[in-house]
Amino acid sequence: MTEAEATPRTGKRVLLAKPRGYCAGVDRAVQTVEEALKLYGAPIYVRKQIVHNKHVVQTLEAQGAIFVEENEEVPEGSTVIFSAHGVAPEVYEQAKARSLKAIDATCPLVTKVHHEAKRFAAEDYDILLIGHEGHEEVIGTAGEAPAHIQLVDGPDGADKVTVRDPEKVVWLSQTTLSVDETLETVARLKQRLPLLQSPPSDDICYATSNRQHVVKEIAADCDVVIVVGSTNSSNSVRLVEVALDAGARAGHLVDFAHEIDDAWLEGATTVGLTSGASVPDDLVQEVLAYLAARGFGDVEEITTANERLTFSLPQELKRDMKAAAARG
């Protein structure tokens, strides 16, 4: 240990995680709603929350987006956008039956899992889908091949699995899970099913993995880790869990800076700060300002990866935007 490391820091500081906030799939989904509002005019209907973030939903509502739970709530012939979490095939059929103009804002990394589910089902595999029961992404993926897919909700769920042929079984996963918990679940499954196959490529998305990795790097140095994100955001909730597992003394999830309890900061010298993949960075900046006002003015950004991935807008929207541009 160097002398600098051995000397306790007296100043209050923030360890700011990077990467944090918006991932490519969220950016694309939010942009899809914004561009649709510009192109077609309000109202634009969105089935479910476009992404799991309270602030984003409120902002888009103010611009003219109307969020609904099901297609039946959308007036016939209107435009509906499907959220970043993906939908089952029957949702497309329902939209067609109501003559809705459907724009699919499903994250391409979720679409990849859907394709894997269809392919393995076509080859008559039993598919073990690791994920959280009731999550929109899980419902959408399971809907691709309901006769072949069974949900495994965490390591303990592995003990309840039954398959037709232990030599013909594969696991897939929700994209926003804890990396470590998923690996633990797979290990438990393999104890019972040694020939369990893995997906052709990792299902947990790069952004989820990256955000968890940097939190692991900073957690042990933090008295408290604050994660900006909504309670229905799976990847945001996981970040708090990862921080605590990696040695943070405390961890809290907040949507906005004003939700921070000053009691969390009492006696703290180091605060870790990150945000879920559906969180715009201005919310993080507001938390930084809040912390600075309470003496945490020394901010050190800890970077473990640089993300450059981008996704193009849905084809149906791009086609209409191009046609509109050509008309002048």
Mean pLDDT in the chain?
95
Q: Mapping DSSP to helix (H, G, I), strand (E, B) and coil, where does residue 35 land?
A: helix
To the question of whether residue 233 is assigned a binding role by annotation, the answer is: yes
Span of 9-23, 201-215, 222-236, 283-297 with lowest mean pLDDT = 9-23
How confident is the model at residue 8, as a pLDDT?
44
Share of the chain residues as helix, strand and coil, in percent rounded to the nearest 5:
45, 20, 40
To the question of whether residue 198 is assigned a binding role by annotation, the answer is: no
How confident is the model at residue 5, as a pLDDT?
45
Q: Cβ distance 75 to 53 under 8 Å?
A: no
Question: Do the domains spanning 24-106+311-326 and 109-192 agree at the CATH topology level?
Answer: no
Stretch (H or E) spanning 47: strand 44-47
Q: Cβ distance 189 to 128 under 8 Å?
A: yes
Q: Is the pLDDT of residue 7 over 60?
A: no
Stretch (H or E) spanning 207: helix 206-219
Given the residues 3, 137, 167, 259, the one annotated as active site: 137
What does the alpha-carbon distance between residue 64 and residue 55 come to, in Å, rounded to a whole number?
15
Positive or negative: CA dihedral 53, 56, 62, 66: negative
* Residues 203-230: b if buried by 16+ CB within 10 A, e if exposed: bbbbbbbbbbebbbbbbebbbbbbbbbb
Q: Is 241 annotated as catalytic?
A: no
Q: Cβ distance 276 to 227 under 8 Å?
A: yes
How confident is the model at residue 6, as a pLDDT?
41
To the question of whether residue 222 is assigned a binding role by annotation, the answer is: no
User: Please, which residues bridge with residue 45 across strands?
Assistant: 66, 80
Sorted by where each begins, the domain ranges of the chain are 13-22+206-303, 24-106+311-326, 109-192
What does the alpha-carbon distance between residue 260 and residue 294 come to, in Å, rounded to a whole number?
12
To the question of whether residue 148 is assigned a binding role by annotation, the answer is: no
The stretch 202-219 carries a mean pLDDT of 96
Q: Cβ distance 286 to 55 under 8 Å?
A: no
pLDDT 10s digits, 288-301: 999 999 999 999 99
To the question of whether residue 111 is assigned a binding role by annotation, the answer is: no
The stretch 85-104 carries a mean pLDDT of 97
Domain spanning 109-192 has what CATH number? Answer: 3.40.1010.20
The stretch 18-36 carries a mean pLDDT of 98
Q: Which pLDDT band, with edges at 50, 70 and 90, does 4 fall under?
A: very low
How confident is the model at residue 248, as a pLDDT?
98
Task: Give Rg (Cα) of the chain.
Answer: 22
Q: Is the pLDDT of residue 9 over 60?
A: no
Q: Cβ distance 87 to 143 under 8 Å?
A: yes
Domain formed by 24-106+311-326, architecture: 3-Layer(aba) Sandwich (3.40)
How confident is the model at residue 328, as a pLDDT?
79
User: Please, which residues bridge with residue 47 across strands?
Assistant: 68, 82
Stretch (H or E) spanning 315: helix 315-327
Q: Is the pLDDT of residue 261 over 90?
A: yes
Q: Is 112 left (phi over 0), alpha (psi -120 to 50) or beta?
A: alpha
Residue 282 tokens read as: 């201005």
pLDDT 10s digits, 97-145: 999 999 999 999 999 999 999 999 999 999 999 999 999 999 999 999 9
The stretch 284-312 carries a mean pLDDT of 97
pLDDT 10s digits, 217-238: 999 999 999 999 999 999 999 9
Answer yes or no: CATH 3.40.1010.20 is held by domain 13-22+206-303: yes
Residue found under tokens 């993995």: 209
How remote is the C-alpha of 123 from its chain's centroid?
29
> Letter for the amino acid at 168?
K
How confident is the model at residue 90, as a pLDDT?
97
How confident is the model at residue 164, as a pLDDT?
97
What does the alpha-carbon distance between residue 260 and residue 287 come to, in Å, rounded to a whole number?
9
pLDDT 10s digits, 264-277: 999 999 999 999 99
User: Please, which residues bridge with residue 299 across strands?
Assistant: 14
pLDDT 10s digits, 31-76: 999 999 999 999 999 999 999 999 999 999 999 999 999 999 999 9
